[in-house]
Amino acid sequence: MSASVHPLLRAKRRKEALRNLAFLSPWIIGFCVFFAYPLISTVYFSFMHYTGFNNPTWTGGKNWSYVFTEYPLFWPALRNTLWLVVVMVTLRVVFGLGVGMLITKIKTGAGLFRTAFYLPYLAPPVAATMAFVFLLNPGTGPVNHILGGIGVPTPGWFTDPHWSKPALTILAVWGVGDLMVIFMAALLDVPKEQYEAAELDGAGAWSRFRYVTLPNISPIVMFAVVTGVIQTMQYYTQPLVAGKVASGIIGNSGQQFEPGYPDKSTLTLPQLVYNLGFQRFDYGSACVIALVLFALSMAFTALLMRRRSGFLSAED
Amino acid sequence: MTQATLDRDIPVRGSGADVDARARRTAQRRRALHWIAVHALGIAAAAFFVLPFVFVFLTAVMSDNQALTRDLWPHTWQWSNFRTVWDTPGFLTWWRNTLLYAVGGTVLTVVSSLPVAYALAKFRFRGRNVIMMLVISTMMLPPQVIIIPMYLFWAKQLHLDGSLWPLIIPMAFGDAFTIFLLRQFLLTIPREYTEAAKVDGCGEVRTLLTVILPMIRPAIAAVALFQFFYCWNDYFGPQIYASSNPAAWTLSYGLESFKGAHHTNWNLTMAATVLVMAPVIMVFFFAQKAFIEGVTLTGVKG
């Protein structure tokens, strides 16, 4: 903005700046009030002793050391998250890719199959979780009924600490429709000529997949893995509802539900924010967990943005 | 299979016809086997995806006594279970609250996000990429990160806990995911359209409403559906803000307490589950195309 700019041009620029501001204003207000301010406030409270009934008092790093060294639920939650990242994310990606490939090969009734495969993804999480606690309940559930019928061991699923995470994984794999659609679109974008060329070279089904399909869709696989990891760190509703329903301790029954049933095996980080903040009224320590969650989410989002710079590309 | 009929109609002439015919038969047989293998796998996968719905539904219509057994098929079809659930005190209120949250939240989100997405896609200004990066960063954050100060703000300062307002009001200030998706879609619209409108003397607001809006209807439908489902399915939000007041509960939150009140009766719990799933599935059938396009847009374009 040098002095030599023509007054008319300057007026136009000012008008444009005002217009931009007007269009962006909902987001600017929302970002400041519902994101920036609470985030700074979270950092502030993480150094405070605050129960909601006292005046916040400075405690230095006490909340932090409490969470990392004394709080009995932190490390189990982190270990569970690691388990889920390794097993659940991998299975979801492999299964999503498999079903996506299958759907591109189906000739008869493709629309019907696609809808059937996609529908579970839409089931509301609370409803889907309750359905699976019922389906997998060890006493009268149809799954163990069938497994018992064919002479296979019948696990306790959501009531057994060794089987609760596998049960949650089955639930997550059931709702793989989102990945299926993304993989399907990517598979249809692979140039046909590359398959034909590979076939002329005598490539079998496996080498066609390994040397043509996989290189072409690897960005989408990467996207599915990273978003899968982010979603897993934020995994909340399904493990909490599964634990509550399977344990029989529900909301207004008067008893307080200690998350993680059975035996801390379904604990995840977001549940700790609820446990510390809204059950133990230790807002300071809850904020520490919130910041751990923030740091982990941001780290993987940065990875996603670097891998897919296309996120930011404009038309010009 | 049309290919096979066509092949048979070609008249066979000249030498080597036998070899040709045999090769063709082998190819045909291989195609048929491939077809069978693919569709058998498809049916097996479909069973995995659909059977849970079937078992939930069959249990939902069982009698109380039978729901306590391991039977898979109902002896008598007790359709009145749905009625019983519907008449449970509170159920209708939860239904109304959920609808208010989902419809109100969706309208507010789309209306407030569209101008932001438009500015990020079509205007050139300094800091545009910075804003875009901030939008994407907030898109990936779980609500738990900022819930403590937000709760204190709504509950201790505005005394709005025990209602859904703390969830609905913020939606009037744009949603990162909606802004991101709409912007991605707006980028695919050539600049000539907006420039032609400007030559005709349209202001930006009119260009957006009369030229762009009709062109991006599929994207609007997709983001509206996403937001509707997000609100309908939200459990954490109502748990934080509405749990103290059953009159403000939503279906997702109330459903769980349903299991508490009827803990021996899986049939009624499953009937309630069916009633919560049904609207979402119905909406999906009406808007399947827009929805799948939207899901594809999240992963592929960009």
Mean pLDDT of B24-48: 91
Given this model, what pLDDT does residue B184 score? 87
ipTM value for the complex: 0.89
Spatial distance between the Cα atoms of B244 and B256, rounded to a whole number of angstroms: 15
Q: Which of A139-143, A245-249, B31-35, B110-114 has the lowest mean pLDDT?
A: A245-249
Q: Residue B238: pLDDT above 90?
A: yes
Given this model, what pLDDT does residue A93 score? 96
Residues A245 and A300 in one domain: yes
Residues A314, B273: C-beta atoms closer than 8 Å = no
Residues B35, A107: C-beta atoms closer than 8 Å = yes
> Is the Cβ–Cβ distance between A84 and A171 less than 8 Å?
no
Query: Per the domain annotation, does A126 fall within a domain?
Result: yes
Select from B144, B229, B239 the Cβ nearest to the Cβ of A293.
B144
Given this model, what pLDDT does residue A302 score? 87
Residues A45, B149: C-beta atoms closer than 8 Å = yes
User: Please, what's the b/e burial string for B283-292 (b: 16 or more CB within 10 A of its CB; e: otherwise)?
Assistant: bbeebeebbb
Do you know the residue count of chain A?
316
Nearest residue in A to B233, CA atom: A124
Q: Is A283 on the interface with B (CB under 8 A)?
A: yes
Please say which residue of A18, A37, A62 terminates a domain.
Answer: A62
Amino acid type, B211 = V
Contacts 24+ apart (CB under 8 A), B122-129: B122/B186, B122/B191, B122/B194, B123/A16, B123/A19, B123/A20, B123/A23, B125/A16, B125/A17, B125/A20, B128/A314, B129/A312
Q: Which of A35-44, A94-103, A301-310, B190-199 has the lowest mean pLDDT?
A: A301-310
Count of domains for chain A = 2
Helical residues (DSSP H) of chain B, grouped into ranges: 2-9, 17-60, 64-67, 80-87, 91-122, 128-139, 147-151, 165-168, 176-187, 191-199, 204-206, 213-215, 217-233, 236-241, 251-261, 266-286, 288-299
Burial (CB < 10 A; 0-12, 13-18, 19+), residue A8, is exposed
Computed over every residue of chain B, the mean pLDDT equals: 86
pTM of the model: 0.89
Which residues 9-68 of A have a C-beta within 8 angstroms of B? 16-17, 19-20, 22-24, 26-27, 29-31, 33-35, 37-39, 41-42, 45, 52
**What residue segments make up the domains of chain B, in order of their start?**
2-60, 88-299
Residues A172 and A301 in one domain: yes
* Nearest CA distance, B245 vs chain A (angstrom): 11
Residues A14 and A89 in one domain: no
Confidence of residue B73 (pLDDT cuts 50, 70, 90): confident
Pick the residue of A12, A24, A226 with the most B CBs within 10 A to test the interface with B by mutation. Answer: A24
pLDDT in tens, A117-165: 999 998 999 999 999 999 998 888 889 989 988 988 899 999 999 999 9
B134 neighbourhood in chain A, CB within 8 Å: 31
Given this model, what pLDDT does residue A88 score? 96
Given this model, what pLDDT does residue A253 score? 53
Q: What is the CA radius of gyration of chain B?
A: 27
Query: Per the domain annotation, does A258 fall within a domain?
Result: yes
Given this model, what pLDDT does residue B287 score? 79
The H helix count followed by the E strand count for chain A is 16, 2
Residues B129, A233: C-beta atoms closer than 8 Å = no
User: Where is A9: in which H helix or E strand?
Assistant: helix A7-31
Q: Residue B261: pLDDT above 80?
A: no
Residues A177 and A154 in one domain: yes
Residues A47 and A168 in one domain: no
Residues A175 and A121 in one domain: yes
Nearest by Cα to A175 from A237, A92, A268, A58: A92
Confidence of residue A294 (pLDDT cuts 50, 70, 90): very high
Q: Which of A208-217, B5-14, B148-157 has the lowest mean pLDDT?
A: B5-14
Query: Per the domain annotation, does A136 fall within a domain?
Result: yes
Q: Token match 């043509």: residue?
A: A212
Residue range(s) defining the domain that contains residue A162: 73-309
Determine whether domain B88-299 maps to CATH 3.20.20.70: no
Given this model, what pLDDT does residue A252 score? 52
Confidence of residue A315 (pLDDT cuts 50, 70, 90): very low
Given this model, what pLDDT does residue B218 score? 82
Spatial distance between the Cα atoms of A97 and B268, rounded to a whole number of angstroms: 36
Residues A78 and A147 in one domain: yes
Residues A165 and A207 in one domain: yes
CATH code at A104?
Answer: 1.10.3720.10
The interaxial angle of helices B91-122 and B176-187, nearest 10 deg, is: 40
Confidence of residue A250 (pLDDT cuts 50, 70, 90): low
Spatial distance between the Cα atoms of B154 and B286, rounded to a whole number of angstroms: 37
Residues A292 and A182 in one domain: yes
Given this model, what pLDDT does residue A74 score? 96
Q: Residue B8: pLDDT above 60?
A: no
Residues A254 and A235 in one domain: yes
Residues B150, A174: C-beta atoms closer than 8 Å = no
User: Please, what's the b/e burial string for A39-51 (b: 16 or more CB within 10 A of its CB; e: otherwise)?
Assistant: bebbeebbbbbbe
User: Where is A58: in which H helix or E strand?
Assistant: strand A57-58
Q: Is A199 on the interface with B (CB under 8 A)?
A: no
Structure tokens at A86: 């390794």
- Residue B258 in 3-state DSSP? helix
B55 neighbourhood in chain A, CB within 8 Å: 134-135, 142
Residues A26 and A140 in one domain: no
Residues A50 and A122 in one domain: no
